[in-house]
Each structure stands twice: as C-alpha cells, then as structure tokens.
Amino acid sequence: MYSQFFAVPTEGRKEGCYLNYSLLADTPSPTPTPGPEEVGGEAVLLSFAIYIGIFTALVILYTILRPRLPRLYQPRKYIEELQCTLSSRVYATFGSWIPGAIKITDEELFADAGLDAVAFIRLLRLGTKVALVGCFNAIYLLPIYKYQGEGADDALDQHSLGHLPNGSKAMWATLVASYVIFSWTLFLVYREFSWYLRKRHEFMARDTVANYTVFVRCIPENLRSNLRLREYFEDITPGQVAHVRVALDVDELEKEVDERDSLIPNLEHAYNLLEQKGVRQQTRKPMCSKNKLDTIAMLEAQLASLNRYISKTIDDAKAFQEEATSEEDEEKVHKGFEMADVTRLVPLIPLSKITSSKTFRVRSAGFITFRTLQSTMVALQMLLHCEPFKLCTEPTPLPDDVYWSNVGMPHLHQQIGLLVSLAATIALCIFWTIPVAFVASISNVSFLKEELPFLEDAVEARPAMDILLQQVSPIALSILNALLPVFLMLFSKWEGHISLATLNASLFGKLALFYIIQTFFVSAIASSLMASLKDLTEEPLETLQTILATNLPQQANYFISFVFVQIGLDLGLELIRLVPAVTALLRKWLGPNLSEKERSRPWLGLKPLSFPVDLEQPKLVSTVMLFFMILFVYSVMSPITSFVMAFAFTTYGLVYKIEYASVYDPSNDTGGQLWSRAIRFIIACAVIAQFTVMTVLAIKEGPVVSPLMLPLFVGTILFWIYLEQRHFIAASFLPAKTCVEVDRQRLAKGFNAEVWEGCYNPIAMRQRVAQPEVPDSIRELPERDDDLESVFTPRDAAAKGKAESPTEPTTTESATINDSDEKF
C-alpha cells in the first residue's frame, strides 16, 4: 500500500531489499512502486484477528460481568435522578442484552436518553444503510476489479480500482456504483430531515426554562439593569415578560462560595471521624504554629461567617441588579472610563489605587424569560436594535449548562477570540501534519529497520514481527486523535460560547475537519509523496498520477486496519468501562469514605460509580464522520471497505444504544444540535469523495466515465444548497402554529413561568446558606463569633456588614470593558 519512505527498490536485488534514494541518483524508474512490506493483505488479516478478536473477547467478558457488576454496567439504575425504564431492564440469559439492545426503539431511547442519543444512533444507522448498498455494489465490483486488472500481487489490492489498467472499460462499473451509493445517501439524508424536524420541534416545545428564555448579548449601557431591560422588552411583547436577569460579575462572591463549598466536605469529614471513630480532629492555625485548634469548632465558625457574608452579598447583588441606570451613574461611568484611559498610559499604577474597588460589576448580557413560546420565538428572530451588534439574541441553554466565563464577553473581545481561535486552529492543522505524516510513514517496516537497526535482526529471527510492526501506525494514529480534543477545546473557549452545547458543537466542527484532513488525506497521501520526493523533482506530473491512480485506491488496507483498531480498542474498552472501573477503585481505596455522601463524591478527579457520567459527544461524532469519509471514498475504489464499515457502524450502534440506556446521564441533552452539523459534514464528505473518484478516473484515462461523474458532483452540491435554504433554519425555530397551540393548551392548564424566577442568576447567587449534612444530635454550632475570632480569615470581616452598598455604580474597570464593547 505505502511506497517506501525515502526509498525506492533497486534493480537486480532480492525483493524487499532497499537502498536510500540518495545513493541511486541515476535510477531509471520514474514512479514509486509499492513495496511488499506495506500494510497489505496479511497485515489487514492480522489486524482483523487481533482487534476483532479483542473486541469479541471483551463482548464475552461484558456479557459475563454485566449481571455480576450492575453498579458498573447499569449505574443509571442506582442513581435516583437518572432511573428510567430502559436502565431497569433485566437481561437474564447469556447474551440476551444484544437482542435487547436491538429491540430498543427510537421512541424509548428519546424518552429515556434524550434526542442527542437518538440522533447519534440514527447517524450510525444511516452509515449502516449506506455501507450495505456499498456491499451490494461490491458483488459486481470485486470480480470486475480482480479479473479485468493487472499487476498487483497483494490479494486485497487486486480488488481495488488501482488494479485496473489505464483506459479500461471496466471503469464503467465504478461510475455506476458511484451513482448508486451517492444517490442513495442523498435520499437517506433527505428522509432523515423529516424525522429530525419533527423530534427537534417536539424537544423545543417542552416546558423547560431554556425553551422560554432568550440570551441577549451586547446590551446598551442605558439598559443594563433588570428594570430597564424589562421595560424595553415589555414594549416589544406587552405582558409577556416573566422575569429578566442582567448578568453580574461577582468575583468576590464566587471566591467566598468556592471557599464554602470546599469547607463543608472537610467539616462533614471531621464530624464523621468523631461519630464513627471517636476521633476529634485538630488543626494547626496558622500552619507552622505549635497551637492546635479544634477542627469542628474552627470550621463551624468559618461556615457561619461565610453564610452571613454570602447571604448579605446576594441580597445586595439582587438589589443592584434591579436598579435602573441613572444619568448620574452614566456620568460616573464615563468619568471612570476616562480614568481607565489614564491608567493605560501609566500601566505601573494599578486601577485599584486610583479608584475604589466595588463588589459587583454589571455585564453587557442578560437572560429574558417569557410567558409563552410564541414570544420567545419572536424575540429570537426579531431585529431588536437599530445597531447591528446591539441586543443580539440567541437560544439559551439550561441554567446548569451555561458557561459563565463567557457570559457578557464584550463584542470586540469575542471577535478577536474568533480570529485567534481560527488562526490557532489553522496553525495546529499545519503543524499537526508533521506527526501524522511520520505516523503514516512508519507503516513502512523497511524505513523502521533503517532507522532502528536492531529491528532487522529481530525480524530475521522472528519473521512474524514483520507484520506485527505494521500495526504500530494505526495505533499511533488513534493516540494522536485522542490528543487533539485537548487543544481544540481550548481554542473553542476563546470564541465566546455561553453554552456547553455550542462549545461542544464548535469542538466537533474542528475535530471532524482535523480528522478528515489529517487522519484521512495526510495519512493517505503523505507516505507516497515522501517516498517519491526524487521522482517528484524529475517527473512531477507522472509521479502524482501514479500516486493518485494506483496508490490512493490501495490505501484502503491502511484505513481498514485503523477501523479495526477503533473497534477493538476504543469501542471494546467503552463497552467494558475499564477506565471508570479503575478510577472508581482508586477512589474507593484512596478517598474519604466514612459516609455515603463521602463515598459518592469525586475526590482529586477520581469519580465513584455513583457519580453521573456524561458522554464526550464531539470526539465520538467526529470519529463517525471519519468513518463516513472512508466509506464514501473507498466503497467504489476498494469495495471490501464497505463490508468493514457496515460492521463498524453496526457494532458502534449496538454498543452505544445499550450505553445510552444504562450508563450515560441525559440531563445535558442539547436536542440533537450536533446532528445538523454532522449532516453538513456527511454531505461535504460525499462531495469530496466524488471529486476524488472523478480525479482518479480522469488520471486512469477514463475519457467518458470521468466527465459523466460531473452531473453527480454538481447535483450533490445543488442538493446541499437546497437544504441550506430552509431545512437547517426550520430546525432552529418552532413553527408559529405549534407555538400558538402549545401555549393555548398550557395556559388552560394554569402554566406559570414565574416559577423559574432566579434560575439564571450566577451560580454563586443561587444558595444563600449551606449547611453540612450531619445529624443534628452531634452538630456543634458556635455560640458567639467572638469565641473564635482568632480563626477568622481576613475576608470574614466582610460578614459583619462591610459588604458594598447596592446603590453605588459599577467600577471603572467595568466601564472600560463595556465602553469598548459599545464601539462595535
């Protein structure tokens, strides 16, 4: 499959022996010749035996362990808030979970696991249907490629388009197969849209606070209060505004809440030690002091102080939120901005030294909750301000899914973040080519032997190692793919997304693009190009033609091995949940476990089995997009790939259906937001694959069949444009008639949106008082604050009434940020 990396075969020597091409400047061979040590038929069969064997063994192990370890394999059954019908199903007989998973309907999965789960399973089902049509095409393509071709010795390469000679009439079969599989794909995509729109609208019509709330960016300064913003929206939708929350920056309050949240587990642990072991814990305060204080008394005093401070600060913050911005306040804000300009000129002088520090800062964003779905849809689709980037609305996530760090990000900062994220992504894509190209090149065992001489002796002693070494490249490629999300998630956070759903959607777009560009095209072409550097300089056109016409179709063996690795390792380990099992054991052995609450709480990143688990959908769906790319390109150029991909899509669908039903938490369901992006990628993959096939046919001198691919290529693009006109927009909003009918039904039943009051306050403002969960009989409340003044932290003084007055305006720092936002 791969040409030799930096090497060409020599004449008159034993097959398999190679010399560096720099020593063969006069070699007459103008084109690269695939060597016998590339990922060929034997390596693919070995990959199948190893990784599908591993997967089969893990499935059997899962079948044995599932009834014996229900808390590991059915955690939703034991987490009260996640219990459902599917998670409680019992599969008594050996292997009965497999037909049980197959019988789970889309409606059952939608009810118990959410729309994200159903949308993903249907994407896999779509892939299976396309692959099965590819299998049908293989019935006539395989014998045609084998018996009409010439030259290849490898059994798998004989069944590829690269085996056909230039100008062969057998390429008509490739043309027919292309029309069959791609037309079928477009038909399935169109049919899936009707299902998706129906379920998407059903999800958007639910009576959840997110469906009745609109997030507003870039609020003008004169509207940055609950009262003023409510008045503005009441003029637009009279009587339909339930409540308004302008976002606040409450950094000091968040620090105190974090301190309280970390204090309570320590206090509960101290009580558990006293109750269960009779040990009264003591703490040195300060750390290096010889004096020890009673831990319970110290923490109780600190908790009482924190509760008082937090309660008063929350009251002040709510009062500050409600205030209307007066002309006097605006004047102070502009003066503050001028002062901030001065501090920019003298950067060594901190702003806090020139102006007083305030407790709260108003942000340029807010949340508007309406009484009806109709008003919500109106606000989402209406131009609310004469300036382009003022009062920009977008759908709101559930309160627990809000990414608060980006709420109120100024417009200028967001635009810069988008540019920086784009530049960083492009730069990473360029530099990531280096490790991916290297990984692709090490599939060449001769290259490894030259770089690592000890391998040559080992291979001579054990010939089987020759094929085993060819497994290194697919495994290394999987490892590289696992590292990508870490970097791309960081880039996505710079773009100003306020919901985890849109953040994940951005991550998915980057990951899918990387997988298609790097994992597919770089891996498919880089090795052949690197192996042919000398030939490229001498006869570039002929060399490129050979690479595309012969080597590219034969690269299917490499990707088949890659898919086997994904099934055997990634999917197999997902099924048996090895990583959660190990982390849960470490948590049990190392973490505090004196009470049920302690045992159910994460500790140092180690999570117990009772902790809800979220699925990393962006990485998973991106891998599926790569599967579609492999299927579309090689279903007609190397038809055996269709059988492999049909197996891959089927096994993925089976495993994740049972995992959605038994393991994963559906609380963060986004309503299938990734589905629409995934469909765009699938169509894009089809377009790229058609262009690739058309190019290969043209290079192989198909004067008629290559131009006849053009109508299919253009038709697919027109189909994409057709969907973009209305279908994707229809998935973003509810129909007006649906809104009216649902609103009428709910109002008749006494529906009241006022119950959601305060849902979109910052997390730090949601709980005024927090107490440890310990029996009242052993609780030791502090009698007076003066008893333990020595253990107070410096911030405890604020609890005695030193919180800022809510009547004071925002800080000059806030004015600086907001004023820069106002300019764009």
- Report residue 155's pLDDT band, with 50, 70 and 90 as the boundaries: low
pLDDT for the residue 357: 37
Cα(620)–Cα(627) distance, rounded to whole angstroms?
11
Cα 11 off chain centre by = 51
Task: Output the DSSP codes for 277-337.
Answer: I----EEESSTT-S-EEEHHHHHHHHHHHHHHHHHHHHHHHHHHHH----HHHHHHHHHHH
Ranking 149-153, 353-357, 707-711 by mean pLDDT, the lowest is 353-357
pLDDT for the residue 63: 95
Q: Which of 177, 523, 214, 501 is nearest to 382 (CA)?
A: 214
Cα(437)–Cα(506) distance, rounded to whole angstroms?
26
- Give per-residue pLDDT as tens, 521-578: 766 665 555 555 555 555 555 655 555 555 666 678 888 988 998 999 899 999 999 9
pLDDT for the residue 284: 72
Local structure of 205: helix, strand or coil: coil
pLDDT for the residue 649: 97
Q: CA separation (Å) from 359 to 248, 310, 786, 807?
A: 10, 12, 26, 11
Cα(166)–Cα(170) distance, rounded to whole angstroms?
10
- Structure-token pair, residue 654: 């089976």
pLDDT for the residue 13: 37
Cα 757 off chain centre by = 31
Local structure of 241: helix, strand or coil: strand
Cα(251)–Cα(30) distance, rounded to whole angstroms?
67
687: Cβ–Cβ under 8 A, 6 or more apart, which residues? 713, 716, 717, 720
The answer, yes or no, to whether residue 126 has pLDDT greater than 80, is: yes
- Give per-residue pLDDT as tens, 215-259: 999 999 999 989 999 999 999 999 999 999 999 888 888 899 999
pLDDT for the residue 793: 46
Cα(654)–Cα(661) distance, rounded to whole angstroms?
11
Per-residue pLDDT, averaged over 583-605, amounts to 87
Percent of the chain with pLDDT over 70: 75
Higher pLDDT pick, 555 / 460: 555
Percent of the chain with pLDDT over 90: 44
Local structure of 806: helix, strand or coil: coil
- Give per-residue pLDDT as tens, 393-448: 999 999 988 988 889 888 899 999 999 999 999 998 888 877 777 766 655 555 55
Residue type, 508: F
Q: CA separation (Å) from 255 to 145, 438, 470, 821?
A: 68, 47, 53, 26
pLDDT for the residue 821: 41
48: Cβ–Cβ under 8 A, 6 or more apart, which residues? 564
pLDDT for the residue 470: 62
- Give per-residue pLDDT as tens, 502-512: 999 999 999 89
pLDDT for the residue 561: 87
- Give per-residue pLDDT as tens, 306-353: 999 999 989 888 888 776 454 444 444 344 434 444 344 333 333 333
- Structure-token pair, residue 46: 């070995």
- Structure-token pair, residue 590: 């190392």
The answer, yes or no, to whether residue 16 has pLDDT greater than 50, is: no
- Report residue 21's pLDDT band, with 50, 70 and 90 as the boundaries: very low
The two counts, helices (H) then strands (E), for the chain are: 34, 8
pLDDT for the residue 128: 97
- Give per-residue pLDDT as tens, 622-668: 999 999 999 999 999 889 999 999 999 999 999 999 999 999 999 88
- Report residue 704's pLDDT band, with 50, 70 and 90 as the boundaries: confident
With the CA atoms of 585, 590, 592 and 598 taken in that order, what torsion angle do they form, in degrees rounded to the nearest 10?
A: -20
Beta bridge partners of 394: 215
pLDDT for the residue 453: 65
Hunting for tokens 């369901």 — which residue is that? 669
Higher pLDDT pick, 788 / 43: 43
The answer, yes or no, to whether residue 724 has pLDDT greater than 80, is: yes
Cα(206)–Cα(92) distance, rounded to whole angstroms?
36
| Average pLDDT score, the chain | 80
pLDDT for the residue 758: 85
Q: Is 288 exposed, middle or buried (0-12, 13-18, 19+ CB in 10 A)?
A: exposed
Cα(174)–Cα(752) distance, rounded to whole angstroms?
61
Contact 32, 3 (CB under 8 A): yes
Cα(712)–Cα(690) distance, rounded to whole angstroms?
8
- What is the reported pTM? 0.81
117: Cβ–Cβ under 8 A, 6 or more apart, which residues? 109, 110, 656, 660, 664, 666, 669
pLDDT for the residue 559: 87
The answer, yes or no, to whether residue 24 has pLDDT greater than 70, is: no
Local structure of 606: helix, strand or coil: strand
Residue type, 634: Y
Contact 410, 396 (CB under 8 A): no
Which of 27-41, 397-411, 704-718 reaches the highest mean pLDDT?
A: 704-718
Per-residue pLDDT, averaged over 472-499, amounts to 82
